[in-house]
Structure 1
């Protein structure tokens, strides 16, 4: 399916469809629901590339209605995006922007800006190909602004709605007060006594409104925390993602009293591609989840591990013990014990490249990439020298 996507992006529709059909042959009762959802998304990609917009829309609908698709946020957003593109091809502009908004929200949740930007760029190129310069320019501008987060805007919007609701309730209370005063004059009741009752009622309503506002604000805060967690965690392994670690490395680190200093290491599973090619990506995902568990168990509280991409992990060790010893323990935790999978036990090793004894001043927004490059060079040496090794530069 990745091969099909690559061919379609390069304009080779024939090979793109052939690659998709090869992937479709693997579909069956023994594959995961995630595979079936990705396969539907890939089919709609092919149909869109072939400009078969009606069929692409129907397949995208199948993807969006597939049982359990809500668990796969990224694929759900991709299918919304494909349905929007199909409706553009069918000149159904009324149905486009709602799906674009949904897909954008999904991509924000998983921190997948590349798909969000791809959707905007695709729209811009589409309008440009039709000679609609105004809309093309509009979406090109949105494309270049696509990296801006929507979380703050959403929070501000919710607070604005709360303020509007509170203002409406206050106006309703004032109207009730005026009507009560009119009735007092007409019925010659004790105006002061009734006024006191109204004041008490108004106070109770204000207190209730304030309590409701507080409850709503706490709900918003809880939602924001959950969204932040989702945007900084790898959906598969539960580890921090690349986005989180890059933010961590651009911020001041705590003063370090240990003589070992900080260690920046890159861990790469040896011959992991053979696992995917031989057993399938579901087994590969099982391996990644188990490796993440072992790393999480062996690392100290102040250490940070993030899935950098694919089978590659980046570790920021806080120097709680001697770096060579700690990195060897990490290597042995993976190499010395087979990994249990649905296809049986798999024996895997890992290569680790690292740079050690770094100070907090050396790890900042201007220099951390240089040390990552050093760790990557060390990883290359570990791979070249036979794998299953730790190399420190």
Structure 2
């Protein structure tokens, strides 16, 4: 009997260890691969003219959620959409990396409440520090430190920029070394503030320079485009907007309710961004806000980042994304249009960061001028951050 219990105990231990191994080491990559898919396709055929043009572009993108996943940004992977090697292959000079700290269960574009949080399980499965399991602020801090660590390990070929001076230096370095990539830290929703204005300077000290106000649920600041209330800013939200702007943050209105967007426009003349979206008059979906709000954001020197997935474009092929970019440029002015891929944001894309020349090819084939292609593929974003990041 003792022998039986001995072997039974060993069997239970092996089963537990096997299960733990699956949960911690096999499941996270599988989830990443499934949620951040690239549609299988033959290599894109790029015209000689488009390839030559693309090789001269300084590409910039307003939204990647790479930091959510257990991938080392410095290494090239066969899953997901972005890492530094693939960004370099795609000609990316500047990438905004966003911190996703909370997502609701059964996430959808219509109505979500704030009572659930799927990121907690992901944090545990991906072996994030224990202090991130119950704190949204600590998750944002962890993501920032991951990106800074990637910079330390990049042999000087990746830098996190926090000011105009930093960006200018990174661009000068890129002119000498095409492998140089600059990153900017942003948040996917302002819930890492955890309802405390004192966390604004703390996020700034960690290197964050872009703050999205909402994500898929209403938060302490106000209503989400996908929440329950459709409300505008709360009193705390108005105070947070003022303090964020005073601190030097750039505000991102992607996922904010239309009421929040209107109220922020009423509160400030500061240039704003909508980092990843489509255009409602071209693709009717609850994920896209009214064109009139985009027109006002554009008129104030803001940026509209066009996403790469079907839910916002109604056609996620390179030609389909190019069509939205060209339409947005016509509607709101080419100087206001940017790339807002939402790479690694639990979307399916038809091309990853290494294949961005396919988008240049589609824009050129669609009749956009080389000067306008250069603007939307990166120069608008570079100009915006050179004008709106803190000076030092």
Query: Normalization by structure 1: what TM-score?
Result: 0.26
Query: Normalization by structure 2: what TM-score?
Result: 0.26
Larger relative contact order (Cα-Cα within 8 Å, sequence gap ≥ 6): 2
Q: Which has the larger radius of gyration?
A: 1
